[in-house]
DNA sequence: CCATTTTTGAGGCACGTGCATCATAAATAT
DNA sequence: ATATTTATGATGCACGTGCCTCAAAAATGG
């Protein structure tokens, strides 16, 4: 039994193909009664619109924009690399991807940028930016103008059905598990370093980390978050301080995606061989650190998977197939030396 | 700049659309010289055949068969569940999936089954069966008849470019890392239980496990593999024996995908709370065991990812886009209580 | 009732490719 | 040279859907 076509639909509903077309594409000028008849036939026949044929007819193409922070962060570089790769992989699906850099901390400029996007040129946008009212409103306006929008990695709580990223709470808790179980000390303190605690991701990781530590490793004391603000001198000063004040250090958790600076400083400051060190994201640096033992574990989200998932979700949204993409959950990965 | 079509190609190569068509679809009756001219034009224009349009023209559909062992194993059940799910997800791509059960240990019957597959009905097959000359030959014959074939989870060394599964050596090594690092004992022995050591996966996991143990945890002694052959009584006897003979047990590694029987027996046989226990694959049982502490870690391959990856690979092969699908590497996942 | 508006039908072209047929041109054999 | 084979061109339909136009039918208003 072949897939029913619009012709079959028309016959089943007792209307013409023109009317079926009007209903399918939400054109007006059709009586409610007729609309219902057609929708009933759709259900009865199990009609599914052939998207390839539809795209052919409209010569539709998908152009997706990834709006990413400007930072030179290694993780971001990986993301960009995978976007280029995905551009090739999805070329046969008529999908093109571009990267645009935004000022992540300037909601106003982000909102302005989103406002400039033309639905005729841009099919959808994946946005990696911290939550803010301006951005949220801009996203809503964008959607109203017919551009698909998808929070990417950084989540916008306003639209939780549509977003691509991991469960930060679980990620933080997993970091805690690794430190707690890898460490053979039953007492001691744990350094927590972050670039900034202003983002929701960082906060949630920290909460998950503390919850797990308190519950399962009560002997271990988690120190207040050290915020580097991306400033090396400042990082050096505060890490140095903390190391001196806490001689019972048994581990360190770097919860921002840029692990290089804090870890390098830590290693320079003290002999940190006995510390359990956990950081985030697979990058050339963290891979190398895992291999040579500078890191004991990495909590990661697969950048390739993130990107491909975002593309598929954006495509599903523009094709109006919202329901399906749900199973695309991004896992909290644990990377050890042996499974890089 | 729009994508060039066969019309553009014809113009650029100075031939007719009919000839372009003959070249593109490998029909004969074209002079070598002309073929070269067309291929040159393909490269110069960067022509990519519009597969959606091609499929439409041929009313091509993809029907993929998953040939799986008959066993009632939880992991296999998960795989089947995800195949059903994928069937829905990929419906819009004109892909249908069916599951067929085979006698994994009877190469002759597998070969016979593969021989019955009709290229007109079956576009491709994902085969999960242990390596054997008969199966290998049957796969080659299948491919010659125009059916795409893909070793699935169980690998066939003869075709390493095309297969979907994880690096078993790394998986075994990761199990060793977890036991070695989670255990606070510097000396002791580790139980290794398997359903059978006849499959390549089991052997490779075991090799990876031992290599890592010997190199990084020399104080820990890995015991010879206990093979249950799926027989509960036998399992009980040999596990019981081994526990009695090795009072210094500090951990257990179950390397087959069925973890329930050995773990249950182990828990019944002794107070195994202090043991570090690692097994394979995410199943309802292992998830529950992680949650309540009966398992300390699970080494897994995402069944959904495995299935979707197989579908995409089979599709890529039939669309003759072999190069791209390569980045679809299946990760060796580490599951802990916190990142289930 | 007629005039007007709304709803529906009929039909056709387009998208890019596969596939078929028939005619013509070029190469090769005799 | 002519007959035969081989290579190429010209053309047209099909796939399933979007989108357009024009006419006809039905509903609505007065």
Q: pLDDT at position B287, please?
A: 94
Q: Is domain B61-165+303-330 given the CATH code 3.40.50.2300 in the classification?
A: yes
Identify any residues that bridge with A97 across adjacent strands, giving them in sequence order. A64
Nucleotides of D under 7 A from a protein CB: 6-12, 14-21
- Find all residues with CB under 8 Å of B11, minimum gap 6, and list them: none
Confidence of residue A54 (pLDDT cuts 50, 70, 90): very high
> How many whole angstroms separate alpha carbon B249 and alpha carbon B274?
9
Quick check: B7 CB within 7 A of strand C? yes
Q: Is A251 helix (H, G, I), strand (E, B) or coil?
A: strand
Give whole-number Cα distances, B163 to A120, B150, B215, in Å.
Answer: 40, 6, 30
Helix A32-45 to helix A17-24 angle (10° resolution) is: 90
- Find all residues with CB under 8 Å of B178, minimum gap 6, and list them: A336, B276, B278, B296, B297, B299, B334
CA angle B207/B209/B213 to nearest 5° reads: 115
pLDDT at residue B141 greater than cutoff 70: yes
Residue pair B130/B123 in contact (Cβ under 8 Å)? The answer is: no
Q: Do A337 and B177 touch (CB under 8 A)?
A: yes
Q: pLDDT at position B334, please?
A: 96
Quick check: B54 CB within 7 A of strand D? no
Residues of B in contact with A94 (CB under 8 A): 50, 52
Q: CB contact, 8 Å: A324 with chain B?
A: yes
**Class (C level, CATH) for A61-164+303-330:** alpha beta
Q: Do B56 and A56 touch (CB under 8 A)?
A: yes
Encoding tokens for residue B20?
A: 């372009």
Q: CB contact, 8 Å: A184 with chain B?
A: yes
Quick check: B17 CB within 7 A of strand D? yes
Percentage of the residues of chain A whose pLDDT score is greater than 90: 45
- Residues B9, B11, B17, B20: is their CA dihedral positive or negative? negative
Domains of chain A, residue spans: 6-49, 61-164+303-330, 168-300
Q: Which nucleotide is nearest to A18 (CA to C1')?
A: C9
DSSP notation for B109-167: HHHHHHHH--TTT-SEEEE-----HHHHHHHHHHHHTT-EEEEBSS--GGG-SS-B---
Quote the radius of gyration of chain B (alpha carbons, Å).
25
One fold for both B6-49 and B61-165+303-330?
A: no
Q: pLDDT at position A278, please?
A: 95
For B220-254, the pLDDT digits (tens) are 999 999 998 888 889 889 988 888 888 899 999 99
Q: Do B173 and A52 touch (CB under 8 A)?
A: no
The torsion region of residue A29 among left (phi > 0), alpha (psi -120 to 50) and beta comes to left
Q: In angstroms, what separates the C-alpha of A201 from chain B's closest C-alpha? A: 16
Q: Which nucleotide is nearest to B47 (CA to C1')?
A: C16
- Residues A51, A53, A59, A61: is their CA dihedral positive or negative? positive
CA angle B333/B338/B340 to nearest 5° reads: 50
Quick check: B320 CB within 7 A of strand C? no
Confidence of residue B322 (pLDDT cuts 50, 70, 90): low
> How many whole angstroms separate alpha carbon A247 and alpha carbon A188?
9
CATH code for the part of the protein at A6-49: 1.10.260.40
What do you get for the CA distance between the two ends of chain B, in Å? Answer: 47
**B168-300 CATH, one of 3.20.20.80, 3.40.309.10, 3.40.190.10, 3.40.50.2300:** 3.40.50.2300
Residues of B in contact with A174 (CB under 8 A): 336, 338-339
């Amino acid at each position: 039994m072949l897939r029913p076509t619009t012709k079959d639909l028309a016959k089943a509903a007792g209307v013409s193909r023109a009317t079926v077309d009007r209903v399918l594409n939400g054109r007006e000028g059709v009586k409610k009664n007729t609309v219902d008849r057609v929708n009933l036939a759709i259900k009865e026949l199990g009609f599914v619109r052939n998207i390839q044929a539809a795209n052919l007819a409209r010569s539709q193409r998908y152009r997706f924009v990834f709006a990413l922070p400007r930072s030179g962060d290694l993780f971001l570089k990986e993301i960009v690399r995978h976007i280029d790769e995905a551009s090739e992989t999805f070329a046969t699906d008529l999908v093109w991807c571009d990267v645009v850099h935004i000022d992540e901390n300037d909601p106003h400029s982000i909102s302005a940028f989103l406002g400039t996007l033309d639905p005729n040129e841009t099919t959808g946008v994946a946005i990696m930016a911290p939550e803010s009212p301006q951005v949220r409103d801009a996203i809503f306006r964008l959607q109203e103008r017919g551009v698909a929008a998808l929070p990417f990695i950084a989540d916008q709580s306003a639209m939780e059905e549509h977003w691509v990223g991991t469960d930060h709470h679980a990620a933080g808790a997993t970091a805690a598990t690794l430190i707690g179980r890898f460490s053979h000390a039953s007492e001691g303190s744990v350094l927590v370093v972050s670039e900034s605690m202003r983002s929701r991701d960082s906060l949630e990781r920290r909460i998950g980390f503390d919850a797990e530590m308190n519950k399962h490793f009560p002997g271990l004391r988690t120190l207040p978050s050290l915020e580097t603000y991306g400033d090396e001198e400042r990082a050096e000063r505060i890490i140095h301080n903390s190391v001196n004040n806490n001689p019972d250090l048994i581990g360190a958790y770097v919860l921002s995606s840029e692990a290089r600076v804090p870890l390098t400083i830590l290693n320079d400051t003290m002999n940190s061989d006995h510390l359990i060190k956990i950081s985030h994201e697979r990058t050339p640096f963290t891979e190398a650190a895992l291999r040579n033992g500078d890191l004991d574990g990495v909590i990661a989200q697969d950048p390739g998977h993130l990107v491909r998932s975002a593309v598929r979700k954006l495509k599903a949204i523009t094709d109006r197939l919202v329901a399906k993409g749900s199973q695309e959950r991004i896992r909290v990965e644990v990377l050890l030396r042996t499974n890089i």
